Amino acid sequence: MAPRLCDGGVRAADVSSETRRIPRRSMREDAGMAQLDLTRDVVDLTADLCDIESVSHGEQELADAVEAALRALPQLRVDRDGNTIVARTDLGRAERVVLAGHLDTVPLTDPPNLPTRRIDDLLVGRGTTDMKGGVAVQLALAATVAEPTRDITFVFYDCEEIDEEFNGLRRIVAQHPEWLAADFAVLLEPTNGGIEGGCKGTLRVDIATKGISAHSARPWNGHNAIHDAGPVLDKLAAYQPETVTVDGLDYHEALNAVGISGGIAGNVIPDRCVVTVNYRFAPNKTGQEAYAHVCSLFSGYDVSLGDCADGARPGLDTAAAQSFVTALGLPVTAKEGWTDVARFSALGVPAVNFGPGDPNLAHTDDERCPVQQITDSYDALRRWLTA
């Protein structure tokens, strides 16, 4: 697929006279393990992280480098599970916060959109937006804030970009929940440098209609299940989703058909049709409540639940969240998608999304991040952690 060109942007494959390579230092000081210098400028550190390729299931080299760099910091206790690294201060502060980000990226393009390039005020390449800018901010803070005013847990996890069963944060929640105990958490996913509170939940259901097979030349001998799906689609088209206010933030719900299947041959009246529906629901509902809502809308139909994930309340009424918002001095909006903040919420830890990069550019061929957002995110979090 040709590289996608966004407004005001550049293609990752473009190289011109205004393009410069980020100078490499302390990346591979020998022929062995990649090494990271956490004292580097945070933008250059972002480029260093991106250039250690870490497509999902291939994070080991980067995880090794992150672990080694963190173990060199005397103020941190470091634990590892697979390719997930957790580092913590233990300074006896009254409050503990989590800064979390994933190490993996989606696959590279062909030709590869690495190594990174600096083009004017943009850092271009795979991972610059999703989400090694955020990971670089975490690492820079770990190295430069030795005496934070609150204890910090840094979480770097694997396999976020693929099926949930492989997600490193999910694994830590299940096997080492004590590693994540905290008063508040920040997930440094790209938010264009804004604060996005909590997240919506999501579920998928299959709504099935049943007919009777027959030869299509004699349809009166059967009953067409695909035709019976018409009222399901009509109901979806007419549905008016709610906007729900939770902790002062407005979450816009959505209910949509995302797939339809039926029929076995061009000369057979279909005896079954399935409409797959995705419901994005506000975090005032549990997954069970959301499923019950969908079932009530399609009463009389066979409605089977596929996957389901609860959302996360932002917890903006907590003291820890309020101090974060005050220190950053930024407006807070609702996270309209689902993110791993929900895993912290399930542990009773309120969480927000905050990080550099435009989420609309995540996974694109011309993935890129404004360097100012990376430095601004670092400065904002440092201000909070030292206030």
Per the prediction, the chain carries an average pLDDT of 91
Catalytic, 379? Answer no
Active-site residue (options: 48, 53, 64, 104): 104
- Is a pLDDT exceeding 80 seen at residue 340? yes
Lowest mean pLDDT among 8-22, 59-73, 271-285: 8-22
The model's pLDDT over 251-298, given as tens digits with 9 standing for 90+, comes to 999 999 999 999 999 999 999 999 999 999 999 999 999 999 999 999
Residue with tokens 């000369």: 267
pLDDT at 33: 77
DSSP 192: T
- Is a pLDDT exceeding 70 seen at residue 3? no
pLDDT at 6: 31
Rounded distance, CA 58 to CA 79, Å? Answer: 19
Please tell me the pTM assigned to this model.
Answer: 0.85
Rounded distance, CA 247 to CA 313, Å? Answer: 7
Side-chain half-sphere CA neighbours of 119 within 13 A: 20
What burial class does residue 191 get, using C-beta atoms within 10 Å of its C-beta: 0-12 exposed, 13-18 middle, 19+ buried? buried
Confidence of residue 314 (pLDDT cuts 50, 70, 90): confident
Helix (H, G, I), strand (E, B) or coil at 206: strand
Catalytic, 178? Answer no
pLDDT at 342: 95
pLDDT at 191: 96
pLDDT at 23: 45
329 contact partners, CB below 8 Å, separation of at least 6:
none
Q: Which residues face 105 on adjacent strands?
A: 55
Tokens of 175: 């096997």
Q: What is the DSSP string of 211-225?
A: -B-EETTSGGGSB-H
Active-site residue (options: 51, 53, 160, 161): 160
pLDDT at 207: 98
Q: Which amino acid is at 102?
A: H
The average pLDDT across 318-337 equals 93
B/e letters for 269-286, b = 16+ CB within 10 Å, e = fewer, are bbbbbbbebbbbbbbebe
Rounded to 10 degrees, the C-alpha dihedral 160/161/162/165 comes to 10
Q: How many of the other CB atoms lie within 10 Å of CB of 295?
A: 15
Q: Could you confirm whether domain 201-309 is CATH 3.30.70.360?
A: yes
Domain ranges of the chain: 19-198+312-386, 201-309
Tokens of 260: 């339809």
pLDDT at 332: 94
The model's pLDDT over 71-129, given as tens digits with 9 standing for 90+, comes to 999 999 999 999 999 999 999 999 999 999 999 999 999 999 999 999 999 999 999 99
The model's pLDDT over 184-238, given as tens digits with 9 standing for 90+, comes to 999 999 999 999 999 999 999 999 999 999 999 999 999 999 999 999 999 999 9
- Is a pLDDT exceeding 60 seen at residue 13? no
| Pairing verdict, β 332-334 and 243-246 | unpaired
Is there a shared CATH topology between the 19-198+312-386 domain and the 201-309 domain? no
Left if phi > 0, otherwise alpha if psi is -120 to 50, otherwise beta: which for 284? alpha
Give percent of the chain with pLDDT exceeding 70.
Answer: 92
Q: Could you confirm whether domain 19-198+312-386 is CATH 3.40.630.10?
A: yes
The average pLDDT across 148-168 equals 96
- Cβ atoms 345, 201 nearer than 8 A: no
